[in-house]
Amino acid sequence: MSIPSDLDIAQAATLKPMDDVAAQMDLPPEYLERHGTDVAKIELDAIEAMKDRPRAKYVVVTAITPTPLGEGKTTTTVGLGQAFSHIGKRGVVAIRQPSMGPTFGIKGGAAGGGYSQVVPMEKFNLHLTGDFHAVTSAHNMLSAVLDNHLYQGNEAGLDPYRVTWRRVLDVNERALRNVVTGLGGRMDGVPRESGFDITSASEVMAVLALSNDLGELRQRLGRIVVGYTKDGDAVTAEDIHGAGSMAALMRDALKPNLMQTLENTPVLVHAGPFGNIAHGNSSIVADRIGIHGGDFLVTEAGFGADMGAERFFNIKCRASGMVPDAAVVVATVRALKAHSGNHKIVAGKDLPPALLEENPEEVHAGGANLRKQIENMRLHGVSPVVCINAFPTDHPSEHQAIREIAESLGARAAVSTHFADGGRGAAELAEAVAEAANEESHFQLLYPDDAPLREKIETVATKVYGADGVDYAPAANTSIDLYERNGFGNLPVCIAKTHLSISSDPKLLGAPTGWRMPVREVRASVGAGFIYPICGDMRTMPGLGKNPAAHHIDVKPDGTIVGLF
């Protein structure tokens, strides 16, 4: 049976009024700020109004190390949220808002897929309620205040060669990665090198995601470091009087967005921090509302369990104080076969024919990656459930191979057909998650706040990635010393590395051993509240491909959008 396109499925959906969606969370309509008939913002007063209600089970969805095609975490998150109604429970979903850069680049959309989607798809992927634009404006407001500060005499003593704050834009635009500002003449500012990042890579976006309330948002914005003096002292947004205006621009963006799935399950869509140099998780305020809105709150962590889930545990949970009850590790037959080393998967190209042949032995050969990601969940004391995300090209013997890998480590496993069958197809997964979430929680952070930065980095590298140790470039050592001298050593770490391997080398598949992690440089997101060591070349402003989705997205005369997928 052929399945219609994601956009066709989404545009045929029957949506409930937002009051009815909110009612499923027992959220009174007076807390809704409506944006049309099918999207609403939720007033932050709802957090206080709902705080004494029973707490939902808190479930994070992560994955094995993905192929360049992705393994369906968002689709699984949505499908699982829908599935709880099929086993007599109430589910709430909390996910990030997609960046328009990748939407018009390679992704073409990020609302889930098949019969497990967030709708309306067009609004979800394009603008929504303008939160990304607020982040862009707030970030660039600080950039403008900074350059004006330099022009007006530089009272803070910023060293122009040590300014770290750039500009952002929510498009893929490689030509803006490196620019020179202030050209033209004396009245046009102080010439200096700078550049642009994509909005999801903005520290302001991470601040939005990690703030518990408006007061904390304002404090975090004030702590943003924009650069250093010649003596190495940090200069903040507060020091140059830029934080207040940023907070004013961000006030309404802090309110989470309420949408629904194809089966009308409530979805909280909020924030979109970059998954490489930030923590890659949706917002704390959305979770603080969702945790009191049903029986299960299902959220998603970006990339594989070694990245998004580790940051969910050690950055987001550290900031929110919320403790997870279970974790779902999404696995696919194709990804485990790829981890066997016998196949190469390239985005935009057909899968190798040999990959589609029945071969459970190859699944077992690539199983080391799944075993390590299960181990990474248990490092944090969280019960893992393996979701076997079923594709039509899979074979039952290959699903059985994944079950055998999971069960050999004492982990539950369930085959899920949520893409084709919606929530009904994830009912087995929902039952397994409910069992895991009812087990006694033993959640623990990987390292304490007061551990030195190098110890934190090495703990993640050795325990989560399986490295033998860490090698620091001279510039990285200098930065670590600078940050600890400025009082930033108590922050958690967010290691920026490839998402295509548990290691820092995208060519190393499975669960590599016998390697050392090279740290090229270390940067600080002090307002967001983490230090990020960089391993390899991390692009913070993507470029468009030869045939981007932007070539195909269009609008008909009647207003219908086409080309999203």
Query: Tens digit of pLDDT for each residue in 387-424?
Result: 999 999 999 999 999 999 999 999 999 999 999 999 99
Averaged pLDDT, 500-521: 96
pLDDT digits over 28-50, tens only? 999 999 999 999 999 999 999 99
318-333: average pLDDT:
97
pLDDT digits (tens, 9 = 90+) for 268-303: 999 999 988 899 999 999 999 999 999 999 999 989
Residue with tokens 């009647």: 558
DSSP string, 150-184: HHTT-TT-EEEEEE---EEESS--GGGSSEEES-S
Residue 364 has pLDDT above 90, yes or no: yes
CB 426 within 8 A of CB 83: yes
| pLDDT of 408 | 96
Q: Please give the mean pLDDT across all residues of the chain.
A: 95
Q: What is the pLDDT of residue 526?
A: 98
Residue stretches of the annotated binding site? 67-74
Residue 382 main-chain phi, psi, to 5 deg: -110, 135
The H-or-E segment that residue 60 falls in is strand 57-63
First to last CA, the chain: 19
Residue found by looking up tokens 């994955």 in the block: 63
Task: Report helix angle 203-210 to 131-151, nearest 10.
Answer: 130
Choice among 1-10, 248-257, 504-513 with the minimum mean pLDDT: 1-10
Residue 547 vs residue 455, higher pLDDT? 455
What dihedral angle (degrees, nearest 10) is formed by the CA atoms of 371, 376, 382, 386?
-30
- The DSSP letter of residue 207 is H
Task: Give me 500's structure tokens.
Answer: 């295509």
Whole-angstrom Cα distance, residue 433 to residue 386? 9
* 160-182 per-position pLDDT tens digit: 999 999 999 999 999 999 999 99
- Give Dmax over CA atoms of the chain in angstroms: 72
Mean pLDDT of 252-270: 98
* Distance from C-alpha of 268 to C-alpha of 15, rounded to nearest angstrom: 16
Q: Identify which of 178, 220, 381, 211 has the alpha carbon closest to the alpha carbon of residue 283.
A: 211
pTM of the model: 0.96
pLDDT band at 1, cuts 50/70/90?
A: low
Residue ranges for the known binding site for ATP are: 67-74
- CA torsion through residues 71, 463, 276, 282, sign: positive
